[in-house]
């Protein structure tokens, strides 16, 4: 068996999945991914690319494609088998859901729900070959496939078209690339963890205090991990009154106490400066982000 090499994230991935003749509409510029190990690759080059920080760490909100709902979430124990396709060459150079640029020569993959970027091992169940990939784009939006691979990754697996594979998230490498992207360090994390706890009681009443003039809230992201929400919270305070709201098992980062004009400014700023796709609430109810 070939030696598995653990690799990580950088900039680039696709939008979607497909077999050899896949459609570009199978991809999106918004969420998850899963991948595998690369066998006997140029370790230095691939480590540099796979472990590089991304423009942003992206999970995103629940979304629908053709009436099918997908719920992105962190899942370090993700281990599934299914069919893999190959990302079309024509997507080369396009931006992925987390702001990277898809490079068909790199070992990349797509996912409907995994965080972007995520590092995963993909194994061809027909011949036992494995490859480590960087998941950096949403897709494939085809229920018959669970992942699509770049031509470079597909070549490592000796794939010609749709192939049955196993996709397993590599937790250690995925956390490494997440921390590199978010900018967390062991030294800084305790301080980051304390601040939100101290501020939460203060921030929570704020929406009530200014309810008449601040009926809008902009939701930036939702996480299953509280530390991920708290980490993003610090950055979002640059855009307004940012808080973390716990709903069920999820921690949601929101900018609250906004009037219509303020909500419009925040949404436009997050889209242009952060490459995000924020949601909008009015008095606690979801509304179209472009309705104001």
Rounded mean pLDDT for each run of 10 residues along the chain, 292 residues in total: 37 35 53 34 56 90 83 93 92 89 93 95 95 94 90 95 95 91 49 35 38 76 81 90 85 91 90 83 84 84
Q: How far apart are CA 141 and CA 110, in angstroms?
A: 10
**pLDDT of res. 252:** 87
Per CATH, 4-181 and 184-287 having the same topology is answered no
**pLDDT of res. 69:** 85
Four-way CATH pick for 4-181: 2.40.40.10, 3.40.190.10, 3.10.180.10, 3.40.50.11030: 2.40.40.10
- CATH number of the domain located at residue range(s) 184-287 in this protein: 3.30.70.1070
**pLDDT of res. 14:** 34
Which residue ranges make up each domain of the chain? 4-181, 184-287
Phi-psi region of 191 (alpha: psi -120 to 50; beta: other; left: phi over 0): alpha
Which token pair is 49?
């690319």
Question: How distant, in Å, are the alpha carbons of 27, 215, 221, 263 from that of 289?
Answer: 22, 14, 14, 9
**CB neighbour list of residue 83: distance below 8 Å, 6 or more residues apart:** 144, 145, 146, 162, 163, 164, 165
Collapsing DSSP to helix, strand or coil, 41 comes out as: coil
**CB neighbour list of residue 281: distance below 8 Å, 6 or more residues apart:** 216, 217, 218, 219, 254, 287
**pLDDT of res. 76:** 92
Among 270, 287, 260, CA closest to 236? 270
Collapsing DSSP to helix, strand or coil, 189 comes out as: helix
For residue 292, the tally of other CB atoms under 10 A from its CB is 16
Among 188, 137, 156, CA closest to 46? 156
Q: How far apart are CA 175 and CA 173, in angstroms?
A: 5
């Amino acid at each position: 068996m070939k030696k598995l090499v653990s690799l990580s994230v950088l900039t680039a991935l696709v939008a979607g999945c497909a077999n050899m003749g896949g459609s570009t509409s199978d991809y999106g510029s918004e969420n998850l991914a899963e991948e595998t190990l690369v066998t006997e690759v140029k370790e230095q080059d691939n480590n540099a690319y796979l472990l590089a920080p991304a423009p942003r760490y992206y999970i995103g909100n629940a979304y629908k494609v053709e009436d099918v709902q997908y719920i992105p979430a962190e899942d370090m124990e993700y281990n599934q088998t299914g069919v893999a396709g190959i990302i079309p060459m024509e997507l080369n150079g396009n931006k992925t859901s987390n702001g990277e640029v898809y490079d068909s020569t790199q070992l990349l993959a797509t996912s409907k729900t995994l965080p972007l970027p995520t590092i995963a091992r993909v194994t061809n169940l027909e011949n036992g070959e494995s490859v480590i990939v960087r998941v950096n784009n949403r897709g494939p939006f085809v229920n018959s496939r669970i992942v699509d691979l770049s031509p470079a990754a597909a070549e490592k697996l000796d794939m010609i078209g749709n192939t049955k594979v196993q996709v397993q998230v590599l937790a250690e490498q995925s956390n490494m690339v997440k921390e590199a992207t978010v900018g967390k360090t062991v030294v800084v994390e305790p301080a980051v963890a304390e601040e939100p706890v101290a501020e939460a009681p203060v921030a929570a009443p704020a929406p009530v205090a200014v309810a008449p003039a601040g009926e809008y809230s902009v939701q930036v992201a939702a996480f299953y991990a509280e530390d991920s929400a708290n980490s993003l919270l610090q950055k979002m305070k640059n855009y307004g009154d940012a808080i973390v709201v716990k709903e069920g098992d999820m921690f949601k980062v929101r900018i609250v106490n906004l009037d219509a004009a303020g909500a419009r400014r925040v949404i436009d700023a997050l889209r242009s400066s952060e490459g995000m796709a924020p949601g909008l609430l009015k008095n606690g109810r979801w509304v179209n982000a472009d309705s104001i």
